[in-house]
Chains A and B, each alone.
Chain A
Amino acid sequence: MSTPYAKLPAWADYGLIPLINLLVAFVVAGLVVLLVGENPLRAAVILVEGAFGSGQGLAYTLFYATNFIFTGLAVAVAFHCGLFNIGGEGQAYIAGLGIAIIVLAFDSTLPWWVVFPMAIIASALFGALWALIPAYLQAKRGSHIVITTIMFNFIAASVMVYMLVNVLKPAGSMAPQTRQFLEGGQLPKLGWLLAEFGLKVRPSAPLNISFLLALVMAFLVWVLIWRTRLGYEIRTYGFSSKAARYAGISETRIIIVTMLISGALAGMMALNPIMGDQHNVPLDFVSGAGFVGIAVALMGRSHPAGIVPAAILFGMLYQGGAELAFEMPNISRDMIVIIQGLVILFAGALENMFRPTIQGIFASFSPRSVGISATKGERA
């Protein structure tokens, strides 16, 4: 039981094991489909076709993926620091408020390319602010950040309901949401980009320019974590807080700065649904994307190069899941929630379940690859 996990070759560590975990998660999800009385293989075909089979489907897949890239990066940055930011949901929700303030003030006078940068800053600022208090409490008073960020999710939900119902709702309107944004608050769509590749995309497809922002952020996060001094400090602290303290890294500063970055990334997620698709701030527009970020970060092993494909995979599940609900009445979109849970379970909590077996296999083929120099007989 207490044998240490020996080293595996990098490709097995970063490729094989996540792949096996993912596979198991999908097999279990397939069993659920079977339990509901549908054919899991057919379900998988419908899912993939719905997500990638048409230009329209692809546009939706990438639209959802945009949300998950932002929230996945947010969770990942915190992970690198050994922090678990479970509050992406609340941070993104509050960021909607920041965007609303900017857009409602300027959308009638300024063009989108002026409003957009301001909205980016506002969303990042509001998201970061919502992460600041939990970060401060963790750094200064030792309050567990998981609990405080969960609490802040609920507080955010209450604040936003209050703001939308009592403050932001235009007079005379019944629906608890802001007024419709004018031209200056609407982001250009990216459907034409897919059309360039000969795919058919209707102008209604919600894929928009914030997808590109998400990719830029993924790159910047990579630069931050692996190519800057701050990133090095974040990783050091995450790896061993004692070592970081010994090296003279300020604990308070690292925790707070990391959480601010994480909150800002989560906050930017709000740009995509609000300015890119809905053109207003409705209730509950985050709809779980903050939590999907956890699954995405775990699956992508907290590396942007893993997070982007993982986000696209979840985008595929969301888009394909909608098609699936259409074709198979017994399977609603909630199937994705199960898959998400299973991915978090197998790629996250049980990530080491298959490791000893795989190590055994590697060791029997090539002892050197797992760091065992002598044969087993000699060691015993």
Chain B
Amino acid sequence: MEFVDALINILNSTIRVSVPLLLACLAGLYSERAGVFDIGLEGKMLAGAFAGAAAAAVFASAWIGLLFAILVSVGMALVHGFASITHRGNQIVSGVAINFIAAGSTIILGQAWFQQGGRTPSLPPEGRFGEIKLPGADALRDVPVIGQLYSGLLSGHSLLTYVAFLAVPFTWWVLFRTRFGLRLRAVGENPAAVDTAGISVAWLRYRAVICTGILTGLAGSYMALAQNAGFVKDMTAGRGYIALAALIFAKWKPVPAMFACLLFGFLDALSIRLQGTPLPIIGKVPVQLMQALPYVLTVILLAGFIGKAIPPRAGGVPYVKER
């Protein structure tokens, strides 16, 4: 039984580290499918985490924290939209700018408002999204395997975890089964066609960017209000970029995105668990190799050695109406 316990343990931590990746990855999906590249996921997540933690600390409410996280994150997404849609600026440059502004301002404002070296105050239980016990989890705990899986793996996560995994089928449904989704995908492939059909390219892209903002806000809230009890400076630590890697790895599709995030999360969980313990055949694997693996895998994928990742055709190109 020890093996099952260890497995459940590592899968459980996989889920915990995958959630922010998944939310950020889906966020990027909306934007990039609409033809707006977004390397500012990191910054929006960070700003969302900070705003969420700050508001939750002041109002002692996780929900108000969530609201502010989403508001701030959407605000930054709109800046990106304003630069890259309205002013046809370089989307990469704009994303880089967002990342820097978020990285700097969260520390400066955090220090000025809370005086704790860039942290926000530790959140009380009502300021966080606590663990939710699914019905019957305690009763089934002793049933071998199935009961263990149910109570140990499925139950006991925060609300946002369930939201994140429900967002996967929802995103699929929005993108592939609604009119909005069809148009959103079209505007990422051939905006001129969408324009000819009499639909505003700019407004569609703005809506996509707003979806991105909402989801990165959720990702930030998860980090600050569920995974941790407050904001620590630079707490996203490159997760926005891993999410971007996962998005490419998943070839811009929602369900593969979930698996990509779980894979990268699993690597992360494994590297924490294996720290220092030698493996049977390979011997001791350096932690750094495990940490670099998501990036290496993405590069190999991008190189076209494991299938080809073809980005949305109009991605990164600002739309100019024909004159």
Contacts and interface: CB of A to CB of B under 8 A. Distances in A.
A345 B104 contact: no
Contacts of B89: 348-352
A286 B159 CA distance: 40
A159 B287 CA distance: 11
A37 B292 contact: no
Interface residues of A, number: 52
B101 A341 contact: yes
A337 B241 CA distance: 19
Contacts of B241: 150-151, 154
B interface bracket (residues with beta carbon within 8 Å of A): 35 or more
B239 to A, nearest CB: 11
Main secondary structure of the interface of B (DSSP, over half): helix
Contact of B109 (A35, A84, A142): A35
Given A84-B92, A291-B100, A341-B104, A151 B298 contact: yes
Contacts of B101: 338, 341-342, 345
Given A37-B112, A345-B83, A348-B89, A337 B104 contact: yes
Nearest to B106: A334
Contacts of A3: 323
A344 B93 contact: yes
A142 B310 CA distance: 10
A356 to B, nearest CB: 10
B302 A137 contact: yes
B108 A350 contact: no
Interface string A327-341: 000111011111111
Interface of B: 37, 39, 79, 82-84, 87-94, 96-105, 107-109, 111-112, 118, 238, 241, 244-245, 248, 286, 288-289, 291-292, 295-296, 298-299, 302-304, 311, 320-323
27 contacts: A2-B323, A32-B109, A36-B109, A36-B112, A37-B112, A143-B303, A144-B311, A150-B39, A151-B302, A155-B292, A158-B291, A161-B288, A162-B288, A330-B111, A332-B118, A334-B107, A335-B104, A337-B100, A338-B104, A338-B108, A345-B79, A345-B93, A348-B89, A348-B90, A349-B83, A349-B94, A350-B82
Q: Please give me the 10 A-B residue pairs with the lowest Cβ-Cβ distance, nearest first.
A: A341-B100, A337-B104, A338-B104, A349-B94, A349-B89, A341-B101, A345-B97, A158-B292, A143-B302, A348-B93
